[in-house]
Amino acid sequence: MASQPRRLYVAVRDPDSLLIVDVKGIEKESASPSLTVVGAVPLPGGPTQVTLVSRGASRSALVLVSCSDAGVVAIYDPDVGQVVAQVSVGQQSGTQSSQPFGLAFQQAGNAARIFASNFGDGRVSVIDIADLNNPQLARLVAWLGVRQDVGQSAQCQEEQL
């Protein structure tokens, strides 16, 4: 009896996309696994990290992707087959955005709190998904820490003079 393939999600650039890959043959140590790209979904600019949030055995896990260039965390729902939310993690500061990079989450029942480390401003953005069955309602609820980018562009301009 053939086993079901496992699903792998890979963030790639140029073009910025989420590759959906089926992986077969990893159960047997002697067998070589096979990888098959089964889809690609366009993402906002600069995808960096991918994290999965389980919704239980009956639903596919949500796929979270930090998109540094766009300043958003994108949420892909495999059950729908598209990005269902793009949550902005901060305000623009001159030409530099918050640039989310690392992702972590805390799950409580059918809800999740997402933490995105922001490379651009040094803070951590907090995103709540109150109902994992409705990820399109995800929203930014707080920032942790103090902005580290305030005044840097003015300081750089002074140094260039």
Largest CA distance in the chain: 72
* Tens-place pLDDT, residues 24-36: 887 766 568 889 9
Tokens standing for 154? 């003015």
Give pLDDT tens digits for 34-68: 899 999 999 999 999 999 999 998 999 999 999 99
Q: How many CB atoms lie within 10 A of CB 143?
A: 18
Kindly give, in sequence order, each residue whose CB lies less than 8 Å from that of residue 87, ignoring residues fewer than 6 positions away. Answer: 72, 73, 75, 127, 138, 139, 140
In whole angstroms, how far apart are CA 13 and each of 23, 47, 103?
21, 7, 18
pTM (two decimals): 0.86
